[in-house]
Every structure is written in C-alpha cells, then in structure tokens.
Amino acid sequence: MVSHKPVLLKESIDRLNLKSESIAVDATLGGGGHSIGMLNIIGRSGKLIGIDQDAVAVENFRQKNSAEQVILVKDNFANLKNVLTDLRIEKVDAILADLGYSSMQLEDTDIGMSFLQDAPLDMRLDREGQLSAKIVVNTYSQGELSRLIKNFGEERFASLIAKRIVDARKNKEIETTTELVTIINTAIPEKFKHGKLHPATKTFQALRIEVNHELDVLEKFIPQAIEVLNPGGRLAIISFHSLEDRIVKDIFRSHARGCICPADFPICQCGQVAKVKIITKKPVEPSVEEVAENPRSRSAKLRVCEKL
C-alpha cells in the first residue's frame, strides 16, 4: 500500500497560525497527516479534535495517536457544531478540511473509490449510509445518470455514458468498478482516451459526490466552521475540483462582505457585517516538486479565511 502523503501540508499548517495552546479541528481526518502537523505545533498544551465519517480512518489514527490532547469522533463534518457541543467546546482557534481522499481510502477495495483496481461498486465513506454507487448505477434513470455525470463530473460525454450504463444493466447488474470502467470506455471516443485524465475519472467523481452528498455537506460545514471560530481563528479548506472550490470561494466571499445597501443609502439598512477576512486572495496550489512527488496533489487548491 502506498503511504499517505498529506497535500499542501506546510502551506495549510503555516496559514492556520497555530500556537502551543490552540484548540484545532481536523474536520476530515483521513490519513491523519494534517493532524500530525497540527499536533507538532499545539503540543500537549493544545487540543486536537479529529473528525471523520470513515470509522476505519478514525480507528487507524487512534491506534497511532492516543495522546490525551487528541479527541477523535466518527461523524460527518457537516455536523461540526453538534460534535463540538457534545464535547462542551464552544469555540476553536483553527479548522482544517482536506476534501480529498486519503491513499488508504482510495486503495481500500471494500469502498471501491478508485477506477484503477477491481472492487465492489460502493464508494460509501460512512459504511452505515444507505446509498451506494451500485444503487445509483443500477437504479437511476438514464436522464438522472446523465444529469448526475454532467453536473457533478463535468463530463462532456455524460449522455452517452448514461445510455451505455442503462444498456449494459439490462443484461445484468453492474457490480464492480472494473465493469463500470469497461462500460465508460465504450462511450468515450478514442481520440479523447489518451489525455491527462483517465476516461473514468469524471464519472467516478460524480458518483462519489452523489453517494457521499459531498457538495451539500460542504455547504453546511463552512458557515458552521466560521461560526465556531474564535476571533482571529482561521479556517483552511483544500479542494480538489472546480465544484468544491467554487463553493468555498463563494461562501468565503459572502461572509467577507459587509454592508450591501445601495451606495446612495445614507445609513445602512441591511445590518450585514463582515464575519471574516480572506487570507488567500488567490488559491494556493502545490509546488512543481510536490506534484512530481505526489501526482494526486495536482488539482489541489487551498483557501483560507480568518474570523473577524
């Protein structure tokens, strides 16, 4: 198994402005690389709350890091406020969310996230979730599949892929990642199969987003994260595709905006006050060296805001 390499590790940790007594949250624990980076700074005087809906990720980190200042919670980061309330923590100093998948998750054949190895079609990070990729692929209508793959995968051949999936499942259920990849390959014109991306990349992205409700979760998480930060506290989010990055950028901007009354109003009527300032005017991207060492980092973008 390939060891997990946290993406934009130094760039994200540096911008969180952690101190020795900080209370920090790793909202997407994953392989734990960012959590270790946080712990190296906050030390024994601080506190780290690690959250992940993947029970395996939580347990793996627990076995390696049983320090008293570490609190691990199996939950979805969309429930951040409830998690902190249950822990009797009102405010925190730093929050980081890496929206990608760890190497362990991508290579786990029980989850079936990757198109590079044969595995059951599942893709559920939370094993207790009801919706799996197998259910989506075998029960969604052709129109639903087409819209899903187009909207969440930004795939130009979405309608053709959806048709090939529906045609294939008439003979038998589509049960494995390899079966699905084979079907996708029949829908992609030959001249488009040899670019930087694997032909199945965008369809698998769409399925992962659908199964794990990733965009809805992100939209719920960010306002909560901003609310629970102490003044001067920072929120750092690493995204891996344009749909995620657009949500992060737009919500950051909306919370950084003050009065929105027309310019000719002598007195503010809207009462809107800026809640954050944006630290990263442009997203921070991996260096050439990081991409060479870890190709999975190539699409990563880091955005950071600070609570006012």
Asked whether residue 77 is domain-assigned, the answer is yes
Task: Mark whether 117 and 87 lie in a shared domain.
Answer: no
Task: Mark whether 71 and 85 lie in a shared domain.
Answer: yes
pLDDT along the chain (308 residues), means of 10: 79 97 96 95 96 94 89 97 98 97 82 90 92 98 98 97 98 97 96 88 97 97 98 98 97 91 82 93 96 92 98
Task: Mark whether 228 and 100 lie in a shared domain.
Answer: yes
Task: Mark whether 249 and 290 lie in a shared domain.
Answer: yes
Task: Mark whether 153 and 64 lie in a shared domain.
Answer: no
pLDDT in the model for residue 289: 96
How many domains, the chain?
2
Q: Among residues 212, 243, 260, which one ends one of the domains?
A: 212
Asked whether residue 2 is domain-assigned, the answer is no
Range of the domain at 29: 9-104+214-307
CATH number of residue 131's parent domain: 1.10.150.170
Q: Among residues 178, 212, 246, which one ends one of the domains?
A: 212
pLDDT in the model for residue 1: 42
Asked whether residue 3 is domain-assigned, the answer is no
CATH number of residue 276's parent domain: 3.40.50.150
pLDDT in the model for residue 35: 96
pLDDT in the model for residue 246: 97
Task: Mark whether 200 and 123 lie in a shared domain.
Answer: yes
Asked whether residue 151 is domain-assigned, the answer is yes
Asked whether residue 4 is domain-assigned, the answer is no
pLDDT in the model for residue 3: 58
Strand partners, 74: 52
Task: Mark whether 93 and 226 lie in a shared domain.
Answer: yes
